[in-house]
Structure 1
Amino acid sequence: MKTKENKIEGQSKLKQFGEKALNVVQKITQSTFVSTIMEGFILVMPIIITSTIFILAAELAPSFGYKWKDSDGNVIIEGYAMYSAFCWRMYNLSYGILGFALVIALSSRMTEKISSKLKSNQKMNIIIVCISTAIAYLLTSVPNTVSVVAGATELNVLSLITAIFGAKGIFIAMLTGLSVPWIFFLCYKFNITIRLPKQVPQNISQAFLNIFPTFFIIIIYGVLGWVFVQFLGDTMLNAIFNGLTRAKSYWFFIAWSMVLSLTWFCGIHTSVWNGITSTLDALGLQENIDLQAAGEHPSNLWPNPFRMGAYSMGGTGAQIAVPFIIILFCKSKQLKSIGVVALVPILFQVNEPILFVLPSILNPLMLLPFLVAPLVNTIIGVIFVYEFGMNASTVSMPWSMPMVVAVPIASKFQATSFILPWIWFGVSFGVWTPFVLIQDKIYHKRELLTAEPNEYVDYRNGVQYLRNYLFNCQKHDEIKQLKLDEKNRVNSLEMNLLNTEILNVQTDGDKVVEILVICIGAGTSAMLAETINKTFSDGQVKVNAKACSLGNYSEFIDNTNIAIISPQARSSQKSITDYAKTKKDLIVFQTKGPEFLEMINDKKITKTKIIEKIKELRGIAYEKN
């Protein structure tokens, strides 16, 4: 008895610790700086993905043995040399300005966030702020002189652009993009400006309002950049870049997998580390492409999709095999309800159904596999790169692309790159199976004790289902009919209640209720938006649901009536709620883990929840009017 009480007390303390840690990190992730970094990297993601496609196009044929240079490096096929030069030009003038693009993205997003805190007649001009931020970036990144290789008669301008404006400048972009808007903000707030007579037109006085912040920015970042060049002999950009490259060690790479897994287990989404991982990703990709171009082994482990596969194939916790385990071996109603639902999303690294319904977050039973599976997969990935000579990623792929496809493409289709994802899957299957089965046994016993007398539940696991289907058709058909009868009984009871609720909200004629579903990467939000649209496709209540990521919800929120926030995107709740207070036709629905997934999986639950929110929306709109 004491053992059981101690176990319950231990679980309670772990949950309390997780909740406290979550509260602290929520405050951090809700901060203007962290949310801006997250949104900024999402905004430049199309540049990263599309630009590296040109590297794949240039190197695809040579990766299969096509020779356009001889052993001495001399061109023997002029046509392919021109094609390769074209692809590299496209790459250098797109990915090669990643740092500069990021500084614009960050400064614009930061300006939008803090400008709302000023008076209506003091709004910051985003264009002026972005230009000033670009100046600050140049002042800390451009050297006085550039060394030229001995004997060279030409300067490679594309390489120079990449060295100053490319991935090396990501940290400088974060520094300047996050700080420059605040200089404008402080000058505006404390009215540090040249005061002109009231007769001066507003557009002219507005221009003078920007003189002091621009002057301060040039002085502050000009002096900072000059100190590095004058006394350290290098730009601030290069000094920081040289410091960051020390993180290439595979020991650090392995240790970082534990950091990500442990924080997410405590309920802290891995996006909180985006500033670090995205920087190392971009720098590593540039290094691997340079190594590949020089004929050397691309061995930087940080670029996706290799890092994503090693750390979190199927989502953090390396849970790619968990839906298969549930479908094949689990009996409990709760787990079986998510097995099929989670199967397709988890192939695309979306594992929220497993995280929140199994659950694996803050569940002491799941701590060991949640840490061990990613750790083992990371070590195996390191071995494949450093011992077996497999290329790390030289092409950036969308984070949601299945690893069995993404890893071979990014590694130039080496044989080992086809094998590695399946080994990762096997590790996930082996590590997670015993723990999922223990959890299933706990749920199964509880469900048997709490089942309603008239309720019928099919407790067969997937293996038993197949056995009956193939070798005992009579029993299979009997169970199938019992399940159908139970479904009809439940549907009859619920539809009567729903029809009554629908009649209560059919009062606004052709008015469409606009719903926006927000999550970190627009994966699970797209699933829920699709469920909502299908649920209300009969037109009885006019609803239009769309999905977006945490980084671009501001593009849609103005025309939204109901904002549904997924559990992993709760860091946006405060800012959206504050905005909703200024509108009469917007309410915020912050969902919990099981609730969000139940809505994805069950149209009846979705319809009930949405109708409740529509009634709440109309009540609030009536009060504000």
Structure 2
Amino acid sequence: MTNFLQDSVVPKIVKFTQTRYMQIILNAFMSVTAITIAGSFFTLLKSIPIDIWQKFLDSSGVGSILSIPVAITTDIIALYVLCAISYQTAKSFDIEGFSPLLISLGSFLILTPFTGIERSAGEGGEIITQTMDNVIPVSSIGAQGIFLAIFVGILATRIYIFAIKKGWKLSMPESVPVNVSNMFASMIPGGLVFTLFLLFRFILSLTPFQTAQNMIYGLLQLPLTAVGGGIPGVIVYTLAISIFWSFGIHGGMVAYIGMAAIISVMNAENLAAFASGSAAPHPEWALTPWTMMGGAGSTLALSILIFFFAKSAQLKVLGKMSLPTSIFNVNEPLIFGMPVMMNPFLIFPFILVPIINLLLSLLAINIGFLAEPTGASINLFMPFGIMGMLANSHWSGFVWSIVILIIDIIIYAPFFKAYDRRLLNAEKESEVTVTDEVEIKI
């Protein structure tokens, strides 16, 4: 079974993740992460669980000011994704990225309805619905627009590149400055892209969907997030990370490529809910501080066992290197140095422990022991315990980190002992062999 996975399944998955458009999507979402983390800094600042601080935020109006960076990152996240996708697509084809980025942004706005709905209470308490013109609905450029942003970013940029490479552009004399020449060179490709997207908008207006946002959200994004965005999706994502790492493949990167769009939607909706004072609608996607303590496989527990209890020389040296980095969720020294990958002693707990952590954390939330995550994006290199406390802005986040760590240590302990014993025996046999050789030579 192992040989089949290693020789047949894994190479195909790796080949798929290395395709042009998978790499474009991965690089785009990785670049957008900087925006969401910047907004989350203010989310964390606003959510510090100190009563005096919260009263100050409410009474002074500072709380409303701190909500602004959150709003301009999460409420319009689709625009950031669009720009990143377009830029990475152009870069992949060795085309200067600024012009196609602007064309893609214009194409997205062409598909965006400039009408919104305002609801207000009448004198009798009834709800009055009023259509407003010349406004952009936040839902069109927020989390609900991410999937459309991906399609438009790739398609608009590819059409632009196709026109450029076909030579459909206005060529200026060499005496004309480069910036002016580039402006004229983009006129025909840009006009072609705008025309096609304008035609697409008109066709959609004749359908029940009315808009591209409604079509993509209804046919693709909503079903995908319903299936892959809940607890089963988190379990699949968590399992994929551990399984791929077990075969020496960067599990986090591979799993993220496959579910980047869904993950981004879940995180954006969580953060938007927090900005509006609501509970995170997808708390299961914010449990990483407890499901993967120390990195993939939740190996902080394994690093602690190695550091304090290892008897083999190999693991003693490894423990000194891996524990400091594991505290900050960097476990590559452990995965490659032990090694964890392709290790029959450790593969089982490496895959199982994160799932146990996930299910226990969900249980702890349901019984009220663990406060729900706020939905803020946390820097994954925050130290153990602090990361858990920041995730839900509550003391229970720190306490639960310790509880989970103890459970992980108990699970990892017998597997660690068996592997450490094997290494120690191998080292003793090696010493005997070396001694015998020396005696023979003498």
Per the TM superposition, whether the score is higher than 0.5 is yes
Q: What are the equivalent positions in structure 2 for 1:65-104 lying under 5 Å apart?
A: 80=59, 82-104=61-83
- Write the letter of the residue equivalent to 1:252: G
Paired residues, what number? Answer: 420
Tell me whether 1:371 sits opposite 2:351 in the alignment: yes
Tell me whether 1:237 sits opposite 2:219 in the alignment: no
Q: 2:86 — aligned with what?
A: 107
Q: 2:100 — aligned with what?
A: 129
Q: 2:186 — aligned with what?
A: 210
Q: 1:404 — aligned with what?
A: 385
Structure 1 SS opposite 2:346: helix
Aligned CA-pair RMSD:
3.4
Q: Name the CA shift for 1:126/1:434 in 2 (closer, same or farther; >3 Å).
A: same
Q: CA deviation at 1:231?
A: 1.8
Query: How many Å separate the matches in 2 of 1:428 and 1:416?
Result: 18
Q: CA deviation at 1:302?
A: 5.0
Q: Deviations over 1:377-418 (max 9, x none)?
A: 0101221233326212332111111241122122121x4322
Q: 2:11 — aligned with what?
A: 23
Q: Name the CA shift for 1:198/1:243 in 2 (closer, same or farther; >3 Å).
A: same
Query: How many Å separate the matches in 2 of 1:81 and 1:243?
Result: 43
Q: 1:56 — aligned with what?
A: 44
Q: Name the CA shift for 1:113/1:245 in 2 (closer, same or farther; >3 Å).
A: closer
Q: Name the CA shift for 1:417/1:30 in 2 (closer, same or farther; >3 Å).
A: same
Structure 2 SS opposite 1:60: coil
- Write the letter of the residue equivalent to 1:164: S
- Write the letter of the residue equivalent to 1:40: A
Q: 2:125 — aligned with what?
A: none
Q: Deviations over 1:507-530 (max 9, x none)?
A: xxxxxxxxxxxxxxxxxxxxxxxx
Structure 1 SS opposite 2:283: coil
TM-score by length of 1: 0.60
Q: 2:164 — aligned with what?
A: 188
Q: 1:14 — aligned with what?
A: 2
Q: Name the CA shift for 1:242/1:29 in 2 (closer, same or farther; >3 Å).
A: closer
Q: Name the CA shift for 1:319/1:400 in 2 (closer, same or farther; >3 Å).
A: same
Q: CA deviation at 1:79?
A: 6.7
Tell me whether 1:138 sits opposite 2:125 in the alignment: no
Q: Name the CA shift for 1:366/1:197 in 2 (closer, same or farther; >3 Å).
A: closer
Q: 1:251 — aligned with what?
A: 232
| Kept in 2: contact 1:96–1:161 (CA 8 A) | no
Q: CA deviation at 1:198?
A: 7.0
Query: How many Å separate the matches in 1 of 2:309 and 2:344?
Result: 21
Q: CA deviation at 1:136?
A: 2.3
Query: How many Å separate the matches in 2 of 1:197 and 1:35?
Result: 35
TM-score by length of 2: 0.82
Query: How many Å separate the matches in 1 of 2:74 and 2:239?
Result: 30
Query: How many Å separate the matches in 2 of 1:297 and 1:156?
Result: 29
Q: Name the CA shift for 1:107/1:387 in 2 (closer, same or farther; >3 Å).
A: same
Query: How many Å separate the matches in 1 of 2:149 and 2:198?
Result: 15
Q: Name the CA shift for 1:229/1:369 in 2 (closer, same or farther; >3 Å).
A: farther
Query: How many Å separate the matches in 2 of 1:14 and 1:263?
Result: 12
Tell me whether 1:387 sits opposite 2:387 in the alignment: no
Segment of structure 1 superposing worse, 41-50 or 282-291: 282-291
Tell me whether 1:274 sits opposite 2:256 in the alignment: yes
Segment of structure 1 superposing worse, 222-231 or 127-136: 222-231
Structure 2 SS opposite 1:35: helix
- Write the letter of the residue equivalent to 2:90: T
Q: 1:423 — aligned with what?
A: 403
Q: 1:590 — aligned with what?
A: none
Tell me whether 1:300 sits opposite 2:282 in the alignment: yes
Query: How many Å separate the matches in 2 of 1:80 and 1:155?
Result: 34
Q: 1:329 aligns with which of 309, 315, 336?
A: 309
Q: CA deviation at 1:271?
A: 0.8
Larger RCO: 1 or 2 (CA < 8 Å, sep 6+): 2
Query: How many Å separate the matches in 2 of 1:353 and 1:56?
Result: 30
Q: Name the CA shift for 1:254/1:31 in 2 (closer, same or farther; >3 Å).
A: closer
Q: Deviations over 1:12-63 (max 9, x none)?
A: x6256325444333333333222222222232222111212223333436x6
Q: 2:440 — aligned with what?
A: none
| Kept in 2: contact 1:360–1:366 (CA 8 A) | yes
Q: What are the equivalent positions in structure 2 for 1:427-576 lying under 5 Å apart?
A: 427-451=407-431, 453=434
Structure 1 SS opposite 2:75: helix
Tell me whether 1:42 sits opposite 2:30 in the alignment: yes
Query: How many Å separate the matches in 1 of 2:57 and 2:289?
Result: 38
Q: 1:581 — aligned with what?
A: none
| Kept in 1: contact 2:117–2:129 (CA 8 A) | no
| Kept in 2: contact 1:280–1:302 (CA 8 A) | no
Q: 1:163 — aligned with what?
A: 139
- Write the letter of the residue equivalent to 1:301: P
Q: Once the two structures are aligned, what percentage of the paired residues are identical?
A: 19
Segment of structure 1 superposing worse, 390-399 or 212-221: 212-221
Query: How many Å separate the matches in 2 of 1:445 and 1:242?
Result: 56
Q: CA deviation at 1:65?
A: 7.6
| Kept in 2: contact 1:257–1:375 (CA 8 A) | yes
| Kept in 2: contact 1:391–1:412 (CA 8 A) | no
Query: How many Å separate the matches in 2 of 1:79 and 1:393?
Result: 18
Q: CA deviation at 1:350?
A: 0.9
- Write the letter of the residue equivalent to 1:173: A
Structure 2 SS opposite 1:148: strand
| Kept in 2: contact 1:318–1:374 (CA 8 A) | yes
| Kept in 2: contact 1:250–1:301 (CA 8 A) | no
| Kept in 1: contact 2:294–2:329 (CA 8 A) | yes
Q: 1:514 — aligned with what?
A: none
Query: How many Å separate the matches in 2 of 1:373 and 1:392?
Result: 20
Tell me whether 1:149 sits opposite 2:119 in the alignment: yes
Q: Deviations over 1:217-272 (max 9, x none)?
A: 22343344444454233543354243344144223323332232222223332212
Query: How many Å separate the matches in 2 of 1:226 and 1:387?
Result: 51
